[in-house]
Amino acid sequence: MPENKFTRDQVKDKSLFSKYEKKIADKYAPKIPKVLETNRLTYLSFVWTLFILIFGYLAKENIQWLWGVSAMIVLHYITDMFDGAVGRYRETGLIRWGYFMDHMFDFIYLNSILIVYAFIFSHDSHILLMAIMAVFSAFFINSHLSFSATEEFKITYLRIGPTEIQLGFVITNILIIIFGTQKIEFIIPYVLIAAIVAFIALLLKTQKNIWDIDMRNKRKLK
Protein backbone atom coordinates (compact mmCIF):
# COMPACT_ATOMS: atom_id res chain seq x y z
CA MET A 1 0.00 0.00 0.00
CA PRO A 2 1.54 3.36 -0.97
CA GLU A 3 2.72 5.54 1.91
CA ASN A 4 0.66 8.49 0.66
CA LYS A 5 -2.56 6.48 0.71
CA PHE A 6 -3.69 8.05 3.98
CA THR A 7 -2.52 11.62 3.46
CA ARG A 8 -4.93 14.54 3.53
CA ASP A 9 -4.70 14.82 -0.26
CA GLN A 10 -6.84 11.69 -0.54
CA VAL A 11 -9.69 13.24 1.46
CA LYS A 12 -12.14 14.73 -1.02
CA ASP A 13 -14.72 16.44 1.16
CA LYS A 14 -16.48 19.74 0.53
CA SER A 15 -19.35 19.98 2.96
CA LEU A 16 -21.16 23.17 3.91
CA PHE A 17 -18.87 23.82 6.87
CA SER A 18 -15.63 21.98 5.99
CA LYS A 19 -13.82 25.10 4.82
CA TYR A 20 -14.45 26.89 8.12
CA GLU A 21 -13.72 23.80 10.19
CA LYS A 22 -10.28 23.43 8.61
CA LYS A 23 -9.42 27.05 9.35
CA ILE A 24 -10.53 26.72 12.97
CA ALA A 25 -8.74 23.38 13.48
CA ASP A 26 -5.47 24.62 11.95
CA LYS A 27 -5.62 27.89 13.92
CA TYR A 28 -6.32 26.42 17.34
CA ALA A 29 -4.52 23.07 17.14
CA PRO A 30 -1.30 24.64 18.53
CA LYS A 31 -3.29 25.85 21.57
CA ILE A 32 -4.63 22.42 22.52
CA PRO A 33 -3.09 21.38 25.89
CA LYS A 34 -0.15 18.97 25.59
CA VAL A 35 -1.96 16.38 27.69
CA LEU A 36 -4.54 16.05 24.91
CA GLU A 37 -2.49 14.13 22.38
CA THR A 38 -4.12 13.10 19.13
CA ASN A 39 -4.74 9.53 20.33
CA ARG A 40 -6.40 10.77 23.54
CA LEU A 41 -8.66 13.07 21.56
CA THR A 42 -9.65 10.06 19.46
CA TYR A 43 -10.28 7.92 22.55
CA LEU A 44 -12.59 10.60 23.93
CA SER A 45 -15.02 9.68 21.16
CA PHE A 46 -15.67 6.43 23.03
CA VAL A 47 -16.32 8.38 26.26
CA TRP A 48 -18.88 10.64 24.54
CA THR A 49 -20.51 7.57 22.97
CA LEU A 50 -20.83 5.87 26.35
CA PHE A 51 -22.52 8.92 27.86
CA ILE A 52 -24.81 9.22 24.83
CA LEU A 53 -26.11 5.73 25.59
CA ILE A 54 -26.46 6.50 29.31
CA PHE A 55 -28.30 9.77 28.74
CA GLY A 56 -30.41 8.18 26.01
CA TYR A 57 -31.48 5.40 28.35
CA LEU A 58 -32.39 7.96 31.03
CA ALA A 59 -34.38 9.89 28.41
CA LYS A 60 -36.87 7.01 28.38
CA GLU A 61 -38.19 8.35 31.68
CA ASN A 62 -37.32 12.03 31.31
CA ILE A 63 -36.97 13.42 27.80
CA GLN A 64 -34.90 16.34 29.16
CA TRP A 65 -31.91 13.98 29.23
CA LEU A 66 -31.73 14.50 25.47
CA TRP A 67 -29.97 17.78 26.31
CA GLY A 68 -27.18 15.59 27.67
CA VAL A 69 -27.15 13.56 24.45
CA SER A 70 -26.88 16.77 22.42
CA ALA A 71 -24.04 18.02 24.66
CA MET A 72 -22.12 14.79 24.00
CA ILE A 73 -22.69 15.22 20.25
CA VAL A 74 -21.15 18.70 20.48
CA LEU A 75 -18.18 17.42 22.50
CA HIS A 76 -17.64 14.61 20.01
CA TYR A 77 -17.73 17.13 17.17
CA ILE A 78 -15.05 19.25 18.85
CA THR A 79 -12.62 16.42 19.67
CA ASP A 80 -13.20 14.77 16.30
CA MET A 81 -12.40 18.05 14.54
CA PHE A 82 -9.12 18.49 16.42
CA ASP A 83 -7.68 14.97 16.71
CA GLY A 84 -6.32 14.93 13.16
CA ALA A 85 -5.25 18.58 13.24
CA VAL A 86 -3.31 18.05 16.46
CA GLY A 87 -1.67 14.95 15.04
CA ARG A 88 -0.52 16.82 11.94
CA TYR A 89 0.71 19.81 13.95
CA ARG A 90 2.69 17.68 16.41
CA GLU A 91 3.78 15.22 13.71
CA THR A 92 2.78 12.22 15.82
CA GLY A 93 2.94 9.93 12.79
CA LEU A 94 -0.29 8.15 13.78
CA ILE A 95 -1.71 8.33 10.26
CA ARG A 96 -2.88 4.74 9.76
CA TRP A 97 -3.83 4.31 13.41
CA GLY A 98 -5.79 7.56 13.29
CA TYR A 99 -7.57 6.53 10.12
CA PHE A 100 -8.60 3.18 11.59
CA MET A 101 -9.55 4.24 15.11
CA ASP A 102 -11.22 7.51 14.15
CA HIS A 103 -13.58 5.89 11.68
CA MET A 104 -14.21 2.85 13.87
CA PHE A 105 -15.25 5.09 16.76
CA ASP A 106 -17.32 7.26 14.40
CA PHE A 107 -19.23 4.17 13.29
CA ILE A 108 -19.95 3.14 16.89
CA TYR A 109 -20.86 6.73 17.78
CA LEU A 110 -23.36 7.05 14.94
CA ASN A 111 -25.09 3.83 15.87
CA SER A 112 -25.26 4.89 19.53
CA ILE A 113 -27.40 7.88 18.54
CA LEU A 114 -29.79 5.64 16.62
CA ILE A 115 -29.96 3.36 19.66
CA VAL A 116 -30.99 6.40 21.71
CA TYR A 117 -33.94 6.93 19.37
CA ALA A 118 -34.84 3.26 19.78
CA PHE A 119 -34.93 3.89 23.54
CA ILE A 120 -37.36 6.80 23.32
CA PHE A 121 -39.55 5.97 20.32
CA SER A 122 -42.27 3.32 20.34
CA HIS A 123 -41.59 -0.33 19.51
CA ASP A 124 -43.40 0.16 16.20
CA SER A 125 -40.47 2.25 14.97
CA HIS A 126 -37.69 -0.15 15.97
CA ILE A 127 -37.61 -2.05 12.69
CA LEU A 128 -37.45 1.22 10.76
CA LEU A 129 -34.62 2.44 12.99
CA MET A 130 -32.75 -0.81 12.38
CA ALA A 131 -33.21 -0.29 8.65
CA ILE A 132 -31.88 3.27 8.92
CA MET A 133 -28.88 1.91 10.85
CA ALA A 134 -28.28 -0.60 8.06
CA VAL A 135 -28.44 2.09 5.36
CA PHE A 136 -26.12 4.41 7.30
CA SER A 137 -23.74 1.47 7.70
CA ALA A 138 -23.87 0.99 3.93
CA PHE A 139 -22.68 4.59 3.49
CA PHE A 140 -19.68 3.79 5.70
CA ILE A 141 -18.93 0.62 3.74
CA ASN A 142 -19.22 2.47 0.45
CA SER A 143 -16.75 5.12 1.60
CA HIS A 144 -14.09 2.63 2.62
CA LEU A 145 -14.51 0.25 -0.33
CA SER A 146 -14.43 3.21 -2.69
CA PHE A 147 -11.29 4.44 -0.95
CA SER A 148 -9.61 1.10 -1.62
CA ALA A 149 -10.51 1.30 -5.31
CA THR A 150 -9.91 4.99 -6.01
CA GLU A 151 -7.48 6.15 -3.27
CA GLU A 152 -9.86 9.04 -2.61
CA PHE A 153 -11.69 9.11 0.70
CA LYS A 154 -15.13 10.73 0.58
CA ILE A 155 -17.68 10.97 3.37
CA THR A 156 -19.56 14.00 2.08
CA TYR A 157 -22.47 13.73 -0.35
CA LEU A 158 -24.33 16.67 -1.88
CA ARG A 159 -22.30 18.86 0.51
CA ILE A 160 -23.76 16.97 3.48
CA GLY A 161 -21.15 15.43 5.73
CA PRO A 162 -20.64 14.37 9.36
CA THR A 163 -20.96 17.93 10.68
CA GLU A 164 -24.29 18.54 8.97
CA ILE A 165 -25.60 15.15 10.10
CA GLN A 166 -24.60 15.82 13.70
CA LEU A 167 -26.28 19.22 13.52
CA GLY A 168 -29.38 17.41 12.27
CA PHE A 169 -29.29 15.11 15.31
CA VAL A 170 -29.06 18.08 17.69
CA ILE A 171 -31.97 19.83 15.95
CA THR A 172 -33.99 16.59 16.07
CA ASN A 173 -33.31 16.26 19.80
CA ILE A 174 -34.50 19.82 20.41
CA LEU A 175 -37.68 19.19 18.43
CA ILE A 176 -38.34 16.00 20.40
CA ILE A 177 -37.87 17.84 23.70
CA ILE A 178 -40.25 20.61 22.63
CA PHE A 179 -42.94 18.61 20.82
CA GLY A 180 -42.54 15.10 22.24
CA THR A 181 -41.74 11.82 20.54
CA GLN A 182 -45.18 11.17 19.06
CA LYS A 183 -45.17 14.35 16.94
CA ILE A 184 -41.67 13.62 15.60
CA GLU A 185 -41.84 9.86 15.17
CA PHE A 186 -43.88 10.11 11.96
CA ILE A 187 -40.81 11.37 10.03
CA ILE A 188 -38.84 8.13 10.56
CA PRO A 189 -40.21 6.35 7.43
CA TYR A 190 -39.40 9.42 5.34
CA VAL A 191 -35.85 9.51 6.71
CA LEU A 192 -35.46 5.86 5.74
CA ILE A 193 -36.81 6.45 2.22
CA ALA A 194 -34.55 9.47 1.73
CA ALA A 195 -31.52 7.51 2.98
CA ILE A 196 -32.24 4.60 0.63
CA VAL A 197 -32.68 6.89 -2.39
CA ALA A 198 -29.48 8.78 -1.51
CA PHE A 199 -27.54 5.54 -1.11
CA ILE A 200 -28.75 4.14 -4.43
CA ALA A 201 -27.73 7.37 -6.16
CA LEU A 202 -24.34 7.25 -4.43
CA LEU A 203 -23.82 3.60 -5.35
CA LEU A 204 -24.58 4.28 -9.01
CA LYS A 205 -22.19 7.22 -9.04
CA THR A 206 -19.43 5.31 -7.23
CA GLN A 207 -19.55 2.27 -9.48
CA LYS A 208 -19.49 4.48 -12.57
CA ASN A 209 -16.45 6.33 -11.25
CA ILE A 210 -14.62 3.06 -10.58
CA TRP A 211 -15.68 1.68 -13.98
CA ASP A 212 -14.21 4.78 -15.65
CA ILE A 213 -10.95 4.31 -13.74
CA ASP A 214 -10.73 0.70 -14.93
CA MET A 215 -11.40 1.74 -18.52
CA ARG A 216 -8.75 4.48 -18.39
CA ASN A 217 -6.21 2.02 -17.03
CA LYS A 218 -7.18 -0.50 -19.71
CA ARG A 219 -6.56 2.06 -22.46
CA LYS A 220 -3.16 2.86 -20.98
CA LEU A 221 -2.13 -0.78 -21.28
CA LYS A 222 -2.92 -0.92 -24.99
The terminus-to-terminus CA distance of the chain in angstroms comes to 25
Q: Is 59 helix (H, G, I), strand (E, B) or coil?
A: coil
pLDDT at 159 (0 to 100): 74
Categorize the per-residue pLDDT at 153 as very low, low, confident or very high, splitting at 50, 70 and 90: confident
Q: Which residues touch 115 (CB under 8 Å, ≥6 apart)?
A: 53, 56
Give the tens place of pLDDT for each residue, 194-203: 999 999 999 9
Residue 190 pLDDT > 60 = yes
Residue 179 vs residues 123, 176, 191: alpha-carbon distances, Å = 19, 5, 18
% the chain with pLDDT above 90 = 61
Give the tens place of pLDDT for each residue, 106-139: 999 999 999 999 999 999 999 999 999 999 999 9
Instruction: Decide if 61 contacts 20 (C-beta within 8 A).
Output: no
Q: Which residues touch 164 (CB under 8 Å, ≥6 apart)?
A: 15, 16, 17
- What value, to the nearest 5°, has the Cα angle with vertex 98 and ends 92 and 104? 160
Give the tens place of pLDDT for each residue, 97-113: 988 999 999 999 999 99
CA 89 to chain centre: 23
pLDDT at 63 (0 to 100): 97
Distance, CA of 99 to CA of 40 (rounded, Å): 14
Instruction: Decide if 188 contacts 125 (C-beta within 8 A).
Output: yes
58 or 183: which carries more pLDDT confidence?
A: 58
Residue 22 vs residues 12, 17, 81, 97, 184: alpha-carbon distances, Å = 13, 9, 8, 21, 34
Instruction: Count Cα neighbours of 26 within 13 Å in the Cβ-side half-sphere.
Output: 6
pLDDT at 2 (0 to 100): 39
Nearest to 150 by CA among 3, 10, 9, 52: 10
Residue 169 pLDDT > 90 = yes
Nearest to 159 by CA among 12, 51, 29: 12
Residue 53 pLDDT > 70 = yes
DSSP result, 154-192: ---BTTB-HHHHHHHHHHHHHHHHHH-HHHHHTTHHHHH
Distance, CA of 206 to CA of 212 (rounded, Å): 10
pLDDT at 20 (0 to 100): 81
Sign for the CA dihedral angle at 91, 96, 97, 98 comes to positive
State the average pLDDT over residues 75-104: 90
Please name the CATH architecture into which domain 3-221 falls: Up-down Bundle (1.20)
Share the mean pLDDT of the chain: 89
- What value, to the nearest 5°, has the Cα angle with vertex 66 and ends 64 and 72? 135
pLDDT at 12 (0 to 100): 52
Least confident of 54-68, 74-88, 147-161, 204-218: 147-161
pLDDT at 19 (0 to 100): 78
